[in-house]
Chains A and B, each alone.
Chain A
Amino acid sequence: MVEFILNNETIQTDKPNGYLLLDLIRYDKCLTGTKIGCREGDCGACTILIGEWVNGRMNYSSATSCLTPIGNVHGKHVVTIEGLNMDQLSPVQQSMIDESGTQCGFCTVGFVVSLSGYCLENATPTYKGAIASIDGNICRCTGYKSIERAASNIAASLEKKEIDSPIEWLVSNNFIPSYFTGIGDRLQKIASTPTLNGHQVVGGGTDLYVQRPEEMVELAVGSISSDPSLRFISVEDETCTIGGGTTVADLSESKELKSTFPQLNDYIKLVSSSPIRNISTIAGNFVNASPIGDFTAFFLALDAQIHLAVNNKARSVYLKDFYKGYKELDKTGQEIISKISFQLPTKDSCFNFEKISKREHLDIASVNSAATIRALGGEILEAHISAGGVAPIPKYLAETGAFLKGRELSVKTIRSAAEVIQSEISPISDARGSEDYKRLALRQLFFAHFIKLFPDQIALESLTI
C-alpha cells in the first residue's frame, strides 16, 4: 500500500509501487493540468513538487512525475497545479500573465509549478536562482524572454520572504493555498517502513524509467528513497562518505563539499536539470553504468570507493574497477551501493570537471572529463584523470595518470600526455558526435583542466600550436 498526500487529499493505493506518478495524477485522478511531453524527463511539462517532512519542517523540491514511481512518494506531499490554484491567481501565475510568458500554454504549468517550488525553497531569493529553478522546463514557442522577466518579478516579490519558515509567509501572501500549513502534521501520521526488496531496486528512477518504462510500471520495486538512513554526506578524518540514497541536489547543498570544491555548483549546473537532480542519486548514476555518466567521471577522478551491501554482507570496490564492460558491473543483482567514499583532496591537490554537450545545459555529454592533480614545486606528484563518452565504460585514464606522475608540470608534459590519452580511448561515432570530434573534444577538456587549474603556467595558445 502506497500512501501519500496529493494536493489536499490523502491517497491510498494498491497499485504496484513502480507505477508512475504521472499516470496516477493524470489518468487515475483526472488532474490534467500536469502535461505529458516526452516521458523521459527532458521537457518539464509534467513537473510536480514533492514535499518531505525533514528535521521538523517541510522541504519542497520539483521533480519530473514521468520518471517518479509512486513508491518514491510514500509518506510525502505531491503538489500539482491543481494543488496550487486558489480563488485568485498567485503572484507566480500573475507574473507569467503580466509578462506574456505563455503562448500555446502546454509547457506553462510546468514553469508555474517549478517557480512555485522555487518560492518554497529555504534560500535567499535571487533572479539567478529563479531561472535555475526552470532549467528543466522547455518552451518550444520559446517565450523564454518573457518567462525570464516573469522570473525576475517573482524573485523580487519574494524579497521579504521568511527564509527559515517560508510556508506561513507564502500562505499569508497568497502564493500558496492555506492547506499547506497542515501538511507536515498529516504526513507524520503516515506509517513508513523501508521497502528495499523488490523485483528491481530503484533510486531516483531517472534512468530506469527512460529505459524500461513498460516493465517498471507493473513491478513491485525496492525503493532506495524509502530508507532515509541511506541519505547522508559525512566527513571524518579527511574521508568523505556519501550514502547510496544521496541525491545530486543533496551534493550541491552540502557545506563540506562546497568548501572542498568551490566550483561544485558550476559543475553540477552542467548536469541534467533541477527536477532531475532533485530525485536522481549518485549511486544510481554509477549503477546505470552509462559510459557518459557525469558523476561517474566526477568520482573516478576522486578515485572513489563504493561499498556494496546485501543481506548484512558488505564489501568495497574502487569505482575504477567496478566496470567490467559495456553495462557490465562487478555487482550481483541483489547488491546495492550503500555508500561511496573518497579521500578529500589535500591542500596541494586540485580538482576540475569539464563537459561538452550539444546543448550546454540539460543535455547528456558528448564527452566529459574530471581530473584531480597533486602538484608541488612544478612537479606533478599524482594525477587521476577520467573521461566519459570515449569508451564502452566510464573511463579511468590509468596510463595517462601514470604518465603524468613525477613529471614536470609543463606544456610539453601536457601535450605528451594528450597523446597518451588518444591511445587509451576508443570512441565511436553516434548521435553525440563523430569519433574524430570526441578525440579532439577530450584533448581540449584535458587541456582545459590545466588551463583552469594552473592559469599562470598553462595557456591555450601554447598547448594547441
Chain B
Amino acid sequence: MKNIDSIGHVTGRSLYLDDLPTIQGTLFGVVFDSPKAHGKIKSADYSKAEDFPGVVRILTSKDIPGENQIGGIIPDEPLFADGEVHFMGQPIAFILADTETIAYKAKKLIEMEIEELPVITDPREARAKDQLIFPPRTFQVGDPESVFDSCDYVIEGEADNEGQEHLYIETQGAYSVPMENGHVRISSSTQGPTAVQRTAARVLGVPMHKVEVDVIRLGGGFGGKEDQATPWGVMTALAAQLTKRPVKLAMHRMDDMRMTGKRHPYRSDFKIGLSKDLKILAYEATFHQNAGAAADLSPAVMERTLFHATNSYFIPNVKATAYSCRTNLPPNTAFRGFGGPQGMFVIESAIAKAAEEIGVKPREIQKANLLNDGDEMPYGQIMDQCLAKNSWDSLESSFDIKKLEAEVEAFNSENSDFKKGIAIQPICFGISFTNTMMNNARALVHVYSDGSVGVSTGAVEMGQGVNTKMVQVAADAFSIDPSRVKLETTNTTRVANTSPSAASATSDLNGKALQIACNKILDRLKEVAVKKLGVDASTIELKDEKVISAGTESDLDWKSLIQEAFVSRVSLTENGHYSTPIIHFDKSKEKGHPFAYHVYGAAILTVTIDCIRGRYDFDSVKLVHDFGKSMNLPVDHGQIEGGLVQGIGWMTMEELLYDKEGKLMSNALSTYKIPDIYSVPKEIAIKHLETEGHEAAIQKSKAVGEPPLMYGLGAYFAIQNAVKAFNPDYQLKFHAPFTPEKVLMGLYEKVGEVVPD
C-alpha cells in the first residue's frame, strides 16, 4: 500500500504547521537569543524594541507564571535564560509583533550587556573540569583488564565523531490559540505532543488538561523534534495565554540551526584485545559525550551508546564507560540512532585499526566475532532469534564479497588518478525505548454508523509512514477496504500520556494498541452478527467486508453489520492500550532485558575517490536487511534508503563546525551540506533476509526507522581504504566525517608528517 499522504504531497495539499490558515489578530513571534556562549547578563534594555511600532509585547523569564523550566529528564534548562547564558542561541526573550518583519526589526533594538565567562566546546576538557551533566555509567561483563595480558594482540586508539544537523526541511514551529477558560490549543511540529503539553502546563502553571496539543504531520523530524520542538510550543502558548491572541512562530532556518541541538559529537578511547584466531577477547571503551549546555535527552542517548558499544559482536569481556560532558553548545539531542551510531563507530574503528596492525582484512575480524543465540550482551540480555550471522552469510552469498574486492584491487592496480575502497558494515540495533516505562501506547478507534472508521493514536507522522501502517492495521483487523479508515491528527485530548514518536518503536507500540482496540470492537461486532444470524459464535469471521458464517458468506456485510450494531446500541468506540511485555532493566546493576528484539543486517559499500581533487562518489551499497515480514515494502525501502544516505552524509560531507567561542560556523544550507541527488550511491541493492519476523513487531514487521542509518558508518572505512590504496604513507585516523578536505590531505600526507584532523 502506498503512503496514504502521497496524493496530498504531490499536489501540495498536505498541511504543515506554517500552512494553517492564519487567524485574524495573530501575533508573530521571533526569539531573541544569546549572542554569547557563556556569560552573565549584566543588563538588558528592551525599551527601544518595545516602543517600535507594531511590537505588542516582549516576554522574558519574568513573565512566566509557572516554572521557568523545560528540562525533560533533568530539570536543568530554563525556557528563557535568567541571569546567565550557557550557549550561543539560548533563548532570552520572545518578541511579539503584528508581523514577523516587525519582530525581526525590533530584535535588533534590544540592548544587552553580557559579561563573558570561559567557554568550553570540547567534551574532554569538560570532563577534566568536572563539568558532567550527571555521573558516569559503566556497562561491564567479564573483566577485560585481566584478559588483555593473555591476548595475542592488544590495540589502543581514539575514535571521534562530530555532530549532525537534523535539517528537517520544515523548520521548527508552533501556533497557539487561546481558548475559553484559560485553555490553550497548540498546533506544534513535534514528535512528542505530550512533552509539549506537559512542559507548557508546567511553564504556564496550569493543569495539563488546560493544554491541548495537536499535530497534523511534520516535514521531517529525525529526532530533532522529539524534545526540541517543546520550547517553541511552550513559548507560543505562554504568549497566547498572556496576550489573549493567537501566536505563531515559524522559525527561519538560520535561527533554527543556531538555537537547536544536534546529534552528539563524541570523543572516545578504545582498547581491544584479540586472540591469534581473531576472536575479540576483551574490549574497553570510554566515551565522552558532548552534551551541550543542558541535559535534554543526553542521559538516554548516552545509555544507548553503551547498549550498542559492541555492535553485532560477541565479546566476553567488556567494560564501556560513558561521560556526559557539559559544554557551551546548544543542548544536543536525539537523532536517528540515538547514540547507537556513536558507540558503533568506536568498535568499528577499533576493528579497523586492529586489522591494519595484525595484517588482515577488517571483515575477517568482523565475521569471526558475530553474535549468536545464547550470547550475553554486556547489559545482560541473552541473544535470542539472533540473525547477525544469517545476515552476514546472506550478504556473502548474495553479493560475492570476494569478487567485489578483487574488482576493487584490479581497478586500483590499473588506475593512478582514481582509487576505490570497499568496506563491510554489519548492524545490530535494539528495539524499545531503553527507558522501560516509555514502552506503551494507546489508540482510540471510532467506527461511525456509516461504516467509516476514524483512528487516533499517539504516533506522529513525519515521513516514516506510520499513519499508512496504522491504516493497514485497522483495515486488516476489520478486513475492510483501507479507504474506509481515516487517520486523525495526533492530539493529546484523544490519546493522552503518549511517548514520543521515536526509538523506531512507533509502529510497534501504536500498532499493537490499535490492534487491541480494533479487536475489542470486532468481538462486539461478532456478537451482533451471531445474534442477527442466529449462528454459533465460533464460526463467525469478517472477511473482505463480509460476515462469513461457518465458511459461508452471509447477507451481512460491513456496512449493514455496523448499522445493526448501531441500532442495537452497541458501542462502536474503543480504546486500546499496549505495553511491551518481557522487557526490564535494572539501572543499579546495569543489567536486564531492555529490548523487545533486535534488528540485524549487513552492507557492502564501495567508493571511488578522485586522487587529483579529493572528491568521492559511492559506486554502490549492497545490503541484506532483516525486515522481519515487512508489512509495507515501499515504506520500509524508503526508510532503508533514506537512513543509509543520512548515515553516509554524517560520515562524509556533513561537517558541523563550531569555533572556539562556541559559534556555529556551518550555520546555513550554504555551509552545512547534506546529500543531494548526485551524491547518493549510484546503486543501492536491498536484499531481504528471509525470516518469520518477530512476535513483538507489528504484524511481525520489524522496526525500520533507525537501524539502516548505521550502514552508513561503512562509508568512513571505505573512503579510508581508498585513500590508503593511493598513499601507502597514510596513517589510519578515526575522526568522522571524512570530508573531501580530509581525503585530499590524506592522499598527500607524507611519512612522519603530522596532519591535524
**Chain A residues in the interface with B (C-beta under 8 A):** 26, 30, 32-40, 42-43, 45, 80-82, 85, 89, 93, 96-97, 100, 102-109, 112, 131, 134-135, 137-148, 210, 214, 217, 354, 356-364, 366, 430-434, 436-437, 440-441, 444-445, 447-448, 451, 459-461, 464
Complex contacts, A359 vs chain B, CB 8 Å = 653, 673, 675-676, 679
Bound-complex Cα distance A440 to B755 (A): 13
The answer to whether B684 has its CB under 8 Å from any CB of chain A is: yes
- Mark contacts of B576-620 with chain A using CB atoms, 8 A cut-off: 1 yes-contact digit, 0 otherwise: 000000000000000000000000000000000001111101000
CB–CB B677/A137 < 8 A: yes
Complex contacts, B676 vs chain A, CB 8 Å = 135, 138, 359, 361-362
Bound-complex Cα distance A2 to B678 (A): 38
**B616 (CB) vs chain A CBs: closest residue:** A360
CB–CB A104/B253 < 8 A: no
Complex contacts, B653 vs chain A, CB 8 Å = 358-359
**B647 (CB) vs chain A CBs: closest residue:** A142
Inter-chain pairs besides A102-B3, A142-B641, A441-B613, 13 sampled, C-beta below 8 Å: A81-B12, A93-B7, A93-B10, A97-B2, A97-B10, A104-B219, A140-B222, A142-B649, A144-B641, A148-B677, A359-B676, A361-B678, A460-B612
**A214 (CB) vs chain B CBs: closest residue:** B104
The answer to whether B693 has its CB under 8 Å from any CB of chain A is: no
In the complex with contacts A37-B253, A104-B462, A141-B220, A214-B16 CB distance below 8 A: no
Within the complex, the shortest CB–CB distance from A211 to chain B, in Å, comes to 11
In the complex with contacts A33-B11, A104-B219, A359-B673, A441-B744 CB distance below 8 A: yes
Complex contacts, A109 vs chain B, CB 8 Å = 9-10, 12
Complex contacts, B168 vs chain A, CB 8 Å = 104, 106, 140
**B617 (CB) vs chain A CBs: closest residue:** A360
The answer to whether B740 has its CB under 8 Å from any CB of chain A is: yes
A-B contact pairs, 28 of them (CB 8 A): A35-B170, A35-B219, A40-B670, A89-B11, A93-B11, A96-B6, A102-B6, A102-B9, A103-B638, A104-B168, A135-B677, A139-B677, A141-B642, A142-B641, A146-B637, A217-B101, A356-B740, A357-B740, A358-B655, A358-B673, A358-B739, A431-B665, A431-B671, A433-B741, A451-B417, A460-B416, A460-B417, A460-B611
**A99 (CB) vs chain B CBs: closest residue:** B634
Bound-complex Cα distance A360 to B675 (A): 10
**B668 (CB) vs chain A CBs: closest residue:** A40
Complex contacts, A145 vs chain B, CB 8 Å = 641, 680, 684
The answer to whether B19 has its CB under 8 Å from any CB of chain A is: yes
**B1-45 with Cβ < 8 A to chain A:** 2-3, 5-16, 18-19, 21
The answer to whether B270 has its CB under 8 Å from any CB of chain A is: no
In the complex with contacts A40-B253, A105-B5, A34-B12 CB distance below 8 A: yes
Within the complex, the shortest CB–CB distance from A368 to chain B, in Å, comes to 11
- Which of B8, B614, B657 has its CB near the most chain A CB atoms (within 10 A)? B614
Bound-complex Cα distance A29 to B646 (A): 35
Bound-complex Cα distance A147 to B665 (A): 31
**A354 (CB) vs chain B CBs: closest residue:** B613
Within the complex, the shortest CB–CB distance from A429 to chain B, in Å, comes to 10
Complex contacts, B684 vs chain A, CB 8 Å = 145
- Which of B218, B250, B657, B677 has its CB near the most chain A CB atoms (within 10 A)? B677
Within the complex, the shortest CB–CB distance from B643 to chain A, in Å, comes to 8
Bound-complex Cα distance A15 to B676 (A): 35
Bound-complex Cα distance A104 to B611 (A): 37
CB–CB B642/A447 < 8 A: no
In the complex with contacts A107-B169, A108-B9, A39-B744 CB distance below 8 A: no
- Mark contacts of B237-269 with chain A using CB atoms, 8 A cut-off: 1 yes-contact digit, 0 otherwise: 000000000000010110000000000000000
Bound-complex Cα distance A464 to B729 (A): 14
Dominant SS among interface residues on chain A: loop
Bound-complex Cα distance A460 to B252 (A): 45
Within the complex, the shortest CB–CB distance from A228 to chain B, in Å, comes to 31
Bound-complex Cα distance A242 to B153 (A): 67
Complex contacts, B634 vs chain A, CB 8 Å = 100
Within the complex, the shortest CB–CB distance from B613 to chain A, in Å, comes to 5
Complex contacts, A97 vs chain B, CB 8 Å = 2, 6-7, 10
CB–CB B101/A106 < 8 A: no
Within the complex, the shortest CB–CB distance from A191 to chain B, in Å, comes to 30
**B205-222 with Cβ < 8 A to chain A:** 217-222
Residue pairs across A and B with CB atoms within 8 Å: the count is: 228
The answer to whether B669 has its CB under 8 Å from any CB of chain A is: yes
Bound-complex Cα distance A65 to B482 (A): 38
CB–CB B613/A89 < 8 A: no
The answer to whether B666 has its CB under 8 Å from any CB of chain A is: yes
Interface size on B, residues (CB 8 A): 80
Within the complex, the shortest CB–CB distance from A218 to chain B, in Å, comes to 8
The answer to whether B167 has its CB under 8 Å from any CB of chain A is: yes
Choose from B222, B613, B680 the contact partner of A144 (Cβ within 8 Å): B680
Bound-complex Cα distance A444 to B167 (A): 32
Dominant SS among interface residues on chain B: loop
Within the complex, the shortest CB–CB distance from A19 to chain B, in Å, comes to 11
Choose from A80, A96, A141 the contact partner of B463 (Cβ within 8 Å): A141
User: Sorted from nearest, which 6 A-B pairs have the closest CB atoms?
Assistant: A33-B12, A104-B463, A106-B219, A105-B9, A42-B669, A103-B463
- Which of A43, A105, A448 has its CB near the most chain B CB atoms (within 10 A)? A105
CB–CB A100/B169 < 8 A: no
The answer to whether B411 has its CB under 8 Å from any CB of chain A is: no
**A90 (CB) vs chain B CBs: closest residue:** B10
Bound-complex Cα distance A174 to B441 (A): 45
The answer to whether B748 has its CB under 8 Å from any CB of chain A is: yes
The answer to whether B105 has its CB under 8 Å from any CB of chain A is: yes
In the complex with contacts A93-B11, A112-B10, A214-B105 CB distance below 8 A: yes
- Which of A38, A140, A360, A459 has its CB near the most chain B CB atoms (within 10 A)? A140
Complex contacts, A40 vs chain B, CB 8 Å = 253, 668-670
Bound-complex Cα distance A432 to B479 (A): 57
CB–CB A85/B12 < 8 A: yes
Within the complex, the shortest CB–CB distance from B708 to chain A, in Å, comes to 11
Bound-complex Cα distance A459 to B670 (A): 34
The answer to whether B330 has its CB under 8 Å from any CB of chain A is: no
CB–CB B8/A105 < 8 A: yes
Choose from B7, B169, B744 the contact partner of A106 (Cβ within 8 Å): B169
The answer to whether B444 has its CB under 8 Å from any CB of chain A is: no
CB–CB B645/A144 < 8 A: yes
CB–CB A448/B613 < 8 A: yes
CB–CB B252/A441 < 8 A: no
Choose from B166, B464, B670 the contact partner of A103 (Cβ within 8 Å): B464
CB–CB A102/B10 < 8 A: yes
**A110 (CB) vs chain B CBs: closest residue:** B169
In the complex with contacts A102-B3, A105-B9, A433-B741, A43-B677 CB distance below 8 A: no
Complex contacts, B641 vs chain A, CB 8 Å = 142-146
Bound-complex Cα distance A451 to B634 (A): 45
The answer to whether B465 has its CB under 8 Å from any CB of chain A is: yes
**B622-651 with Cβ < 8 A to chain A:** 634-635, 637-638, 641-642, 645-646, 649
**A447 (CB) vs chain B CBs: closest residue:** B612
Bound-complex Cα distance A129 to B546 (A): 50
Complex contacts, B741 vs chain A, CB 8 Å = 358, 366, 433-434, 437
Complex contacts, B12 vs chain A, CB 8 Å = 32-34, 80-82, 85, 108-109, 112
The answer to whether B487 has its CB under 8 Å from any CB of chain A is: no
Complex contacts, A357 vs chain B, CB 8 Å = 673, 740
Complex contacts, B657 vs chain A, CB 8 Å = 431
Bound-complex Cα distance A80 to B217 (A): 22
**B640 (CB) vs chain A CBs: closest residue:** A145
**B257-300 with Cβ < 8 A to chain A:** none
The answer to whether B355 has its CB under 8 Å from any CB of chain A is: no
Bound-complex Cα distance A146 to B16 (A): 23
CB–CB B744/A363 < 8 A: no
In the complex with contacts A93-B10, A214-B105, A451-B612, A102-B5 CB distance below 8 A: yes
Bound-complex Cα distance A143 to B643 (A): 9
**A218 (CB) vs chain B CBs: closest residue:** B101
Bound-complex Cα distance A32 to B21 (A): 9
Within the complex, the shortest CB–CB distance from A427 to chain B, in Å, comes to 12
